[in-house]
Amino acid sequence: MKDHSIKKVVATGIGAALFFVVGYFINIPVPVPNTSIQLQYAVLALFGLIYGPSVGFFAGFIGHTIKDMTQYGPWWTWILVSGLLGLGFGLLRRVLPLGSGKLTTKDYITFNVAQVLMNIVGWGLLAPTLDILFYQEPVAKVYVQGLWSAGVNSLTVGIGGSLLLALYVKTRTQAGSLSKD
């Protein structure tokens, strides 16, 4: 049990560090102010899927907090959504057979339908609504930012996350591939 929790702490630290580094150095602007394509969400998806919901949550929450604090100050509503996305990715591991050595087309469809829904709920609804409630942000501004974020993050996770998953799954031994001599 002790080794398992140590592994999760290390995975959380590495996931948060990668979230920060990728998010800090790779920002691809979009036409909406304070919004960009964020490649770190593909990495967050992989960490959540491999290590589970708690690692996903804390890697997203801590990584986003550090990123915000080094750039312009913490924006807690969006930090929370990053954590919740990581949590959601971690919950997806229950339905995706990552250890089998093979994912089917159905598995990738399941992953992508779920991540698009999570992005829409997180960025398109939750983050803007919390911005209005806690920061008194203009309604139109935050929903435009949120919907753009939902769209570009869905594409990022759909493409980058699916590629990372495919690479990870190839490192696993395929079920039934070993035989006794």
The pLDDT score that the predictor gives to residue 172 is: 84
Which residues have CB under 8 Å from 6's CB, separation 6+? none
Band of pLDDT at residue 69, cut at 50, 70 and 90: very high
Is residue 180 predicted with pLDDT exceeding 70? Answer: no
* Count of structural domains, the chain: 1
The pLDDT score that the predictor gives to residue 101 is: 81
| Helix 105-119, helix 162-170: angle, nearest 10 | 140
Q: What CATH number did the domain enclosing 82 receive?
A: 1.10.1760.20
Is residue 177 predicted with pLDDT exceeding 60? Answer: no
What are the pLDDT digits (tens) for 155-172? 999 999 999 999 999 998
Is residue 94 predicted with pLDDT exceeding 70? Answer: yes
Q: Which residue has the tokens 């960025």?
A: 123
Does residue 126 form part of some domain? Answer: yes
Does residue 68 form part of some domain? Answer: yes
Is residue 67 predicted with pLDDT exceeding 70? Answer: yes
Is residue 57 predicted with pLDDT exceeding 70? Answer: yes
Does residue 176 form part of some domain? Answer: no
Q: Which residue range(s) make up the domain with 145?
A: 2-170
Note if the pTM is more than 0.85: yes
- The residue among 90, 106, 153 whose CA lies nearest residue 127 is 153
Q: Strand 36-38 relative to strand 27-29: parallel, antiparallel, unpaired?
A: antiparallel
Does residue 175 form part of some domain? Answer: no
Does residue 178 form part of some domain? Answer: no
